[in-house]
Amino acid sequence: MNTSSPIKIADRVRATIERGFKKKAIAEHIGLSRPTFDARLKDNSWQHAEIEKLIRLGII
């Protein structure tokens, strides 16, 4: 039985930031302002296009 819960996208992005990537750089690569990027991290409400870009960047 698998009792683990799926990892949220925001958690994976935070893990990337903890490895040394800058929030500003990630936000620019996916086409977001820093305030919008911070809001996405807080509420984990990513748009499909943003998720696709995060996948292409290898973040998720």
**15-36 pLDDT per residue, tens:** 999 999 999 999 999 999 999 9
Would you put residue 5 in left (φ > 0), alpha (ψ -120 to 50) or beta? beta
The CA angle 8-12-48, to the nearest 5 degrees, is 65
- Pairwise pLDDT comparison (60 vs 3), residue with the higher score: 60
Task: Please give the DSSP secondary-structure letter assigned to residue 5.
Answer: P
pLDDT mean across residues, the chain? 92
* pTM to 2 decimal places: 0.85
The pLDDT of residue 7 is 81
Q: What is the mean pLDDT of residues 6-11?
A: 89
